[in-house]
Chain A
Amino acid sequence: MDAETSQTILVAVSIFTCGLTTALGAVGAAAAESRIGSAAMDAMARQPDETASITRNLFVSLAMVESTAIFCLVIGLILLFANPLMSTGG
């Protein structure tokens, strides 16, 4: 296989993998965030007085879970823009 063909395959695989990484990362984070949200709603309905502190912890947990999806996005962007194997990337 010549160099050009292998580069083309590498680019195609990188783009495909970038989409797949981001999508799979988003699935996990979305499922987890929905559970956090429903648990927080439940807690707020039971104890309306504690709404302020529940909301604060809710946002913190949401952002922590969100960061796993962000990690996947960063890996996807590394594949696209800073791929060390691609001669045309970056």
Chain B
Amino acid sequence: MNDFHIFDDPVIFQIGALPVTRTILTTLGVSAVLTGFAAMIWLTLRTRPNSTLATVGEMLVSGLDDLVSDIVGRRIDWLGSFSGSLFLFITACNLSGQLPGISPPTANLITTSALAIVVFLAVPIVGISSRGFWGYLRHYFSPNPILFPLHLISEFSRTLALAVRLFGNIMSGHLIVALLVALAGVLVPTPLMALDLLISLLQAYIFTLLSTVYVGAALRGAES
């Protein structure tokens, strides 16, 4: 039963005291592919702005910017970059599970926790820089100081929910395919893998949407 590696992560090799696990390797690979893709689009935009690849890049960027401006109400360039990076990274991680022999990095609780902690830290940073320290702190005591513990619990529980939602969906989809291959045969899990593609994109979209909503809520207090 230990072939599944649901909560642990197999160590592939060690560099000194640092164990390099399967998740680290896959994450680095996904980052390298994404960086190469971005560099390729950047080069194409400078040399051949009318090619298909340049159009694809422009569609990606404008689509992600539209997603942010739909939620926050206006265009914010750095928030578009933040949410867009989250979306592209999570999508690439989820879809990497479709390649044979690769387990998606987001099927590991550590990766999704790291992504959720980034969002968790981005909220106070954005709030303090847009409203000032006391202005941000006041939001915890509004409308009534009695609600302070509830505000605090909601900050932590939504971070936990972000991490476990992404992890659970991707891990379960991958686990079901693995179980079906072990039990039934080669072509039986194909429909479930197609469902997995949909779930992968959907969960990346939802993670991006929710993190944009959280960061946008920390911003919006300044304007109201």
Query: A residues engaging B (CB < 8 A)?
Result: 59-60, 63-64, 66-67, 70-71, 73-74, 77-78, 81-82, 90
Which chain A residues border B192 with CB–CB below 8 Å? Answer: none
Given A59, A60, A63, A82, which contacts B6 in the complex, CB threshold below 8 Å? Answer: A82
Whether the pair A67, B202 counts as a contact (CB closer than 8 A) is no
B110 located at the interface, meaning its Cβ lies under 8 Å from any Cβ of chain A in the complex: no
Q: Given that A70-B169, A70-B172 are contacting pairs, would A59 and B7 also be in contact in the complex, using a CB cutoff of 8 Å? A: no
Are A82 and B206 closer than 8 Å at their CB atoms? no
Number of interface residues of B (CB under 8 A): 19
**Complexed CA–CA distance, A44 and B165 (Å):** 28
Assuming A67-B161, A78-B7, is B209 touching A60 (CB within 8 A)?
yes
CA distance A59 to B199 in the complex (A): 10
- With a cutoff of 8 Å between Cβ atoms, the chain A residues found around residue B168 in the complex are 67, 70-71, 73-74
B162 closest partner in A (C-beta): A67
Q: Is B167 an interface residue (CB 8 A)?
A: yes
Tell me if B164 counts as interface (CB < 8 A to partner A). yes
Cβ contacts B146-188/A at 8 Å (1 or 0 each): 0000000000000001001101110110000000000000000
Closest chain A residue to B201, Cβ basis: A59
Question: B165 touches which one: A67, A78, A90 (CB < 8 A)?
Answer: A67
With A59-B202, A66-B169 as known contacts, state yes or no: A81 contacts B164, CB within 8 Å. Answer: no
Q: Are A81 and B1 in contact, CB atoms less than 8 angstroms apart?
A: yes
Q: Which secondary structure characterizes the binding site on chain B?
A: helix
B58 within 8 A of A: no
Query: B4 near A: Cβ within 8 Å?
Result: yes
A74 close to B164 (CB less than 8 A):
yes
Chain B residues with CB below 8 A from A60, complex form? 205-206, 209
B7 touches A81 (CB 8 A): yes
A74 CB contacts on chain B under 8 angstroms: 164, 167-168, 171
CA distance A79 to B181 in the complex (A): 24
CA A73 – CA B1 in complex, angstroms?
Answer: 17
Complex Cα distance, B157 from A71, in Å, reads 13
A71 to chain B, nearest CB (A): 6
Q: How distant is A11 from chain B, measured CB to nearest CB, in Å?
A: 12
10 A-B contacts (beta carbon < 8 Å): A60-B205, A63-B199, A70-B164, A70-B172, A71-B164, A71-B165, A73-B168, A77-B6, A90-B7, A90-B8
